[in-house]
Structure 1
């Protein structure tokens, strides 16, 4: 597993997102693949998000399979610049409750 240097991996978002924690799709979120990427719909908040990057969709769907968001990003095969961009997108998804931190019970 290739880890990003800490300085290269920090998302430009609030303090509620940690790349080194386990994340997954919120239980109330449905993912609908589309030709452009995917639609995410949160049944609790009724919020709709568009994922216009197939790599971001792959990372989001792979989150439950990895011990951390950083590991999911590394497994995506994206270069360091793309991983930083994807990390910012993940931070936004976390801030809007589309993805949520996993606990041991939900892993």
Structure 2
């Protein structure tokens, strides 16, 4: 079961680093030590653009994803949400460490 809300704004978890690669990108979560592979550049574009859009649906549309292929991308984003690679924007802000 996915925890992805298509009507919410999402972003990379503050403890996740994205490293572009020729095949797409690597995501590494420093908190959980999980590594994920993004295997195409379109999903990388979507993931990196998430904070700039009011919701996932808008990010998909901006990347040119049509209704026929949107479920596959939503499933991929859901997997990233379930593994805490991406988080709702408000949750990400709440999890930031206070530097004091």
**TM-score over 0.5 for the pair:** yes
Hey, what's the Cα distance between the residues in 2 that align with 1:49 and 1:95?
A: 12
**SS of the residue 2:79 aligns to:** helix
Aligned partner of 1:72 in structure 2 is: 59
CA distance change for structure 1 residues 36 and 18 in 2, over 3 Å: closer, same or farther? same
- 1:63 matches 2:47: no
Q: How many residues align?
A: 93
Hey, what's the Cα distance between the residues in 2 that align with 1:105 and 1:39?
A: 20
Hey, what's the Cα distance between the residues in 2 that align with 1:70 and 1:62?
A: 12
Task: Write out aligned runs for 1:1-107 (5 A).
Answer: 13-14=1-2, 16-103=3-90, 106=93
User: CA offsets, 1:13-65, max 9 Å, x none?
Assistant: 43x21100110000000000000000000000000000001110000000010
Q: 5+ unaligned residues in a row in structure 1: which ranges?
A: 1-12
Q: 5+ unaligned residues in a row in structure 2: which ranges?
A: 94-100
Hey, what's the Cα distance between the residues in 1 that align with 2:6 and 2:20?
A: 24
TM-score by length of 2: 0.87
Root mean square deviation of aligned Cα: 1.6
Q: 1:78: how far off?
A: 1.8
Hey, what's the Cα distance between the residues in 2 that align with 1:55 and 1:39?
A: 14
